[in-house]
Structure 1
Amino acid sequence: MSAAPNTGTGRVLALVLGFVAMVLAAWLAGRAAERSALADLARQARATLTLQSGALHAEMQRQTALPLALASDPEIADALREGAAPGVAERVSARLATIAAATGAAVIYVIRPDGLTVAASNATEERGFVGRNYAFRPYFRDAMAHGSGSQFALGTVSGRAGFYLSRRVGDRLGVVVVKIEFDGVEAAWRAASEAVFVTDPRGIVLMASDTAWRLRSLRPLDAEAEAEIRAAQDFGDAPLSLLPLFPAQDGLVRVGRGAQPAALALLRDAPVGDTPWRIHSLTPIPKAVARERAQAQLIAVLATGLAGFGLTVWLARRARTRTRLAEAAARGAELEARVAERTRALSAANGRLREEMAERERLGRELAQAGRLAALGQFAASMAHEINQPLAAIRSYADNTGKLMERGRVQDAVENVAAIGRLTDRIGGLTRQLKGFARRASGRREPVPVDALLRGALEVAAARAEADGTPLTVEAVPDLAVIGDASRLEQVLVNLLQNALDAVAARPSRRVAVSVAAEGERVGIEVRDDGPGIPEAARGQIFEPFFTTKADGLGLGLAISRGIVEECGGALSVRDAPGGGTVFRVELVRAAPAESRAEETEASA
Structure 2
Amino acid sequence: MTQSVKQFNSNNKRTAWLYVVIAFMCLIAVWRVSEVYRQQQLTSLKSNSEIQLNQLANVLESAIAKYQHMPILLASNDRVRRALFRGIPTDINLLNRELAQINRITESSDIYIMDRDGLTIAASNYDEEATFVGKNFSFRPYFQEAIKGREGRYYALGTTSNRRGYFFSYPVYFNQTIVGVAVVKVDLRQFEKRFDTQSYEFLLLDPDNVVFSSSRSDWLYKVMGELSHDELTRIADSRRYKDRVIETLPIVSVRPVDQIASIVELLQAYSDDSGRESFERRSYLKMSQPIQLFGFKVVLLKPLQSLNDEIVLWRAIFAGGVIITALLAGLALLRKRMLQERSDAIEMARHNQAYIREVIQNTQAGLVTLDDKFCIESFNPAVEQIVGKPLSDLIGQPLEMLFFCTPSYLHFWGQMTDKADSEIEAGGRFITIEGELIANSSYAVPVEMTLCELQLPKRRGYLVTFHDMTERKRYEKEITLARQALEERVRDRTGALEEANDRLRQEVIEHKETQEELIQTAKMAVLGQLSAGLNHELNQPLTAIRAFSDNSLKFLEKGRIDQVEMNLQQISQLGHHMGDIIARFKVFARKGDVAPRPISIQSALNGAIRIMSSRMKEGQIELSGLNDCPLMVMGDMVFLEQVIVNILANSVDAIEDAKPQRRIIDISACTVEGSKVQLAIHDTGPGFSQSDLSRLFEPFFTTKSLGVGLGLGLSISQRIVESMGGEIAAQNHPQGGAEFYVTLPAFFEHEFVEVRDVAG
TM-score category (smaller protein): 0.3 to 0.5
More helix by proportion, 1 or 2? 1
More strand by proportion, 1 or 2? 2
**Which structure is larger by alpha-carbon Rg, 1 or 2?**
2
Structure with the bigger RCO (C-alpha within 8 Å, sep 6+) is: 1
